[in-house]
Amino acid sequence: MVGVKLAVVLVVLVGGDVSFSMTIGNDARGDLAREDKVAFEDTTEAAGEIPAATTEVLPAEDISCRIPGITYPIGIEFEELAERLLNNSVVLIDVRNRWELEETGKLPRSQNVPLPEFKTAFNLSPEEFLKKYGFVKPEPEDDNVVLTCRSGRRILRAWDAIEPLGYCKVRLYFGSYLDWKARSAPLIPVPKSLEP
């Protein structure tokens, strides 16, 4: 199978402003980057301190599970996600921290695997994953897995963590919690954790 090259450049500036560029393949076009579908958030509160100026270049890699002609990551829109949630035909994973879910509520039927634990979680055995997170660990070939966060930024990092493990079919809800809330869609309260 032909591999696809991926290069991502993120520049974080003082005040949380983010510049983003993405190139897919040798003859990538601007419309493939889907910048209109990616929303960025000020992560000062959610992820801690933002460095004054940081440039991170993620190396291009051959991703063997990608199919030529498909733009990755694959997005999902609100309407399709809502329908799939109603039909119980999706595994929706929220990568926000537990305290964020406690403050805002969660999308219906969503499961929580916080971003800092994401790569480690998907390297666990199915038994360990089930014990720790309370739901069945998705298989790399599953095509019903969707990631969500607050605004669409952290799901890109989560996808970067699991794509090399073969999870190319995972889809991203780029609008995430902010889009869901803006559409007055239902949110499920999350009780405060008893853990310290």
Q: Is residue 191 part of a domain?
A: no
Query: Which element (helix H / strand E) includes 118?
Result: helix 118-121
Per-residue model confidence as pLDDT tens digits over 74-111:
999 999 999 999 999 999 999 999 999 999 999 999 99
Domain range enclosing 59: 6-182
Q: Is residue 195 part of a domain?
A: no
Stated pTM of the model: 0.68
Could you tell me the two tokens for 54?
């940081």
The beta strands (E) that lie in 25-124 are given as 54-58, 74-75, 91-94, 110-112
Q: Is residue 41 part of a domain?
A: yes
Give the chain's residues under pLDDT 70: 1-64, 194-196
Positions marked active-site: 149
Residue 70's pLDDT is 87
Q: Give the CATH number of the domain where residue 115 resides.
A: 3.40.250.10
Q: Is residue 188 part of a domain?
A: no
Q: How far apart are CA 192 and CA 125, in angstroms?
A: 28
Total of domains in the chain = 1
Residue 60's pLDDT is 40
Strand partners, 22: 8
Pairing state of beta strands 6-12 and 18-24? Answer: antiparallel
Q: Is residue 155 part of a domain?
A: yes
Helix and strand numbers (H, E) in the chain are 7, 8
DSSP code for 78: H
Residue 66's pLDDT is 84
Q: Is 49 helix (H, G, I), strand (E, B) or coil?
A: coil
Residue 48's pLDDT is 42
Q: Is residue 189 part of a domain?
A: no
